[in-house]
Amino acid sequence: MSGEEEENAAELKIGDEFLKAKCLMNCEVALILEHKYEQLQHTSEDPMNQVSQVFEKSLQYVKRFSRYKNPDAVRQVREILSRYQLAEFELCVLGNLCPETVEEAIAMVPSIKTRGRSHDDDAIEKMLNDLSLIKKFE
């Protein structure tokens, strides 16, 4: 349990396994789950009975909290954020919460300011601007 105790997402301590894993933004999960749900609709009469409660709740949640609906926009968000040397986890928190100011972004993802990384306020501001542009033109 000692590993569990030290877990802290604010310092990016989420365990090696998850740090290396691919993180998904809510909008990406929505695309995956909706695709899977459609496949089920083809094969069975009553797809809602086929899926687990976890699936149903997750689908409702990601639909409600997806910032970007259109698959192209989702792809662009990931592409733009991946230019900024972020960890997967940081990228997805930013993509999910879409902070509007530099201050807010740092409060949401404190780890972008630590470990002597090259993110100064200007770089963060540019990143947030790029993000809001995608939203605007979606």
Partner 1 sequence: MFFHIVLERNMQLHPRFFGRNLRDNLVSKLMKDVEGTCSGRHGFVVAVTGIENIGKGLIRDGTGFVTFPVKYQCVVFRPFKGEILEAVVTMVNKMGFFAEAGPVQIFVSNHLIPDDMEFQSGDMPNYTTSDGSVKIQKDSEVRLKIIGTRVDATEIFCIGTIKDDFLGVINDPTTI
The residues of the shown chain that bind partner 1, judged by CB under 8 A, are 4, 7-11, 13-14, 17-18, 21-26, 28-29, 32-33, 36, 51-55, 57-58, 61-62, 64-65, 89, 92-93, 96-97, 99, 103-104, 107-108
Least Cβ distance, residue 14 to partner 1 (angstroms): 5
Q: What's the sign of the alpha-carbon dihedral 90, 65, 57, 41?
A: negative
Least Cβ distance, residue 61 to partner 1 (angstroms): 4
The residue assigned the tokens 């899977």 is 36
| 8 bridge partner residues | 13
Q: What's the sign of the alpha-carbon dihedral 90, 21, 12, 96?
A: positive
Q: Residue 88's CB: how many other CB atoms inside 10 A?
A: 18
Name which of 28 and 134 has its Cβ closer to partner 1: 28
Name which of 61 and 80 has its Cβ closer to partner 1: 61
Least Cβ distance, residue 53 to partner 1 (angstroms): 6
d(CA 50, CA 62): 19
Least Cβ distance, residue 24 to partner 1 (angstroms): 4
